[in-house]
Amino acid sequence: MNIHEIKSIIENGESSKVEFKRKATTPEKIAKEICAFANTKGGYIFFGVDDNKKIYGIESEKSEMDSIEKACKFYITPPIELEYQFAEINGKDILIVIIFESKIKPHLVLLVDEETKKNFKRAYIRVLDQSVIASREMSSLLSYQNDENIEELKLGIEEKEKRLFTYLEKYKRATVIDFANLVNISKRRAERLLINLVRAKVLQIQNDATNDYFTLK
């Protein structure tokens, strides 16, 4: 990116593809942001820029990159390769981390439960200008978006699906729980059927930062 493109992105503020960080925080928090972009459509993290778009600059290139590399090496699985770009704006240096949409989703962040001290893994996605936890159904769908799983699924439409379509025509959206209650099946089975309908390109999954919901394609 040239300097004009960089300034334009900053001026437009944070979005589904842009995150500002005044400085590198903990590796765990950096890992969440990187995973969210890789699991969605890719994006940029600008270090040295505050949420209000003010340019503060970074104090040390090495310190910032060490924190980012630590996040990638120890807190993300499978690993994510990044690209870096430095720029000078108003006499201050900023670091831009470029994350591409991954072909091996989902990427998981390795975390530790503060109470039990046990390790666990969690996927994140980008929703608007936030990095949020991916639900179980969203995590399942991420793996089907990989190149080797891109083949379209074809399936028959039965009574349960027809009732769902009627519900969606009336209410426009449905959660897993809505569908499970509608046709009196378990949450797990409802989730599986909805995922298959998304894979068949009949439905699409969306997220409003609080929960996932499904709409007609």
Task: Indicate whether 141 belongs to any domain.
Answer: no
Q: Comparing 154 with 56, which gets the higher pLDDT?
A: 56
Task: Indicate whether 60 belongs to any domain.
Answer: yes
Task: Indicate whether 22 belongs to any domain.
Answer: yes
128 and 152 both lie in a single domain:
no
Residue 82 near residue 68 (C-beta atoms within 8 A): yes
Identify the DSSP state of 134: P
Task: Indicate whether 56 belongs to any domain.
Answer: yes
64 and 155 both lie in a single domain:
no
21 and 128 both lie in a single domain:
yes
Angle at 37 between CA 129 and CA 81, to 5 degrees: 150
Model pLDDT for residues 89-124, shown as the tens digit of each residue: 999 999 999 999 999 999 999 998 888 889 999 999
Average of per-residue pLDDT across 125-139: 89
pLDDT at position 155 is 63
117 and 13 both lie in a single domain:
yes
Q: What is the mean pLDDT of the chain?
A: 89
Q: Which domain holds residue 93?
A: 3-133
Q: How many domains does the structure of the chain reveal?
A: 2
Angle at 22 between CA 139 and CA 115, to 5 degrees: 50
Please report, rounded to a whole number, the percentage of residues in the chain having pLDDT higher than 70.
94
Model pLDDT for residues 13-41, shown as the tens digit of each residue: 999 999 999 988 888 999 999 999 999 99
